[in-house]
Chains A and B, each alone.
Chain A
Amino acid sequence: MLIYFCDQKQAPILPRPDVKALGINYRRIPLLAIGRDVYCDSRLILRKLEQLFPNGTLGASTPEDKATQKFLEIWAVESGVFDRASQLIPSSMPLLNDPRFVKDREDLTNRPWSKEGIDANRPEAVASIRSGFQFLESTLLADGRDWVLKTDRPTLADIEGKQEVRCRLALQMRTNASLTSYLDI
Chain B
Amino acid sequence: MQKAKADAPKPTALKGDAAAQRIFNASFAEKDLGIDQADPLGLQEGALVEIYPLDSGSRHHDEGVLVGLSEDEAVLSVGSQGKEIRVHFPRTGFRIKTLTARAESKL
Contact = CB atoms under 8 A, between A and B. Distances in A.
A48 interface: yes
Interface stretch (A38-46, A89-97, A173-181): A38-46
Interface size class of B (residues with CB under 8 A): 35 or more
A182 interface: no
Interface in A35-65: 35-41, 43-44, 47-48, 52
Nearest to A10: B19
Contact of A108 (B57, B62, B78, B86): B57
Given A35-B27, A108-B57, A23 B88 contact: no
B87 A24 contact: yes
B2 interface: no
A153 B7 CA distance: 15
Interface residues of A, number: 40
A37 B24 CA distance: 10
B44 to A, nearest CB: 21
Nearest to A42: B90
B15 A47 contact: no
B49 to A, nearest CB: 13
Interface string A117-153: 0000000000000000000000000000000000001
A6 B23 contact: no
A131 B107 CA distance: 48
A44 B73 CA distance: 8
Given A23-B79, A37-B86, A6 B13 contact: yes
Interface in A89-115: 107-110
A18 B13 CA distance: 13
A21 interface: yes
Given A8-B18, A36-B23, A83 B55 contact: yes
B48 interface: no
A23 B78 CA distance: 7
A36 B50 CA distance: 20
Contacts of A6: 11-14, 19, 22
A77 B93 CA distance: 10
Residue of A3, A25, A108, A154 with most chain B CB atoms under a 10 A cut-off: A25
Given A22-B87, A37-B29, 12 more contacts: A2-B9, A7-B12, A18-B19, A22-B78, A23-B81, A35-B29, A35-B30, A36-B86, A37-B28, A40-B90, A52-B30, A154-B1
Interface of B: 1, 4, 7-9, 11-15, 17-20, 22-24, 26-30, 52-53, 55-62, 72-73, 78-81, 84-90, 92-93
17 contacts: A7-B13, A8-B18, A22-B78, A22-B80, A23-B79, A23-B80, A28-B56, A36-B85, A36-B86, A38-B85, A38-B88, A48-B88, A77-B55, A78-B55, A78-B93, A83-B55, A83-B56
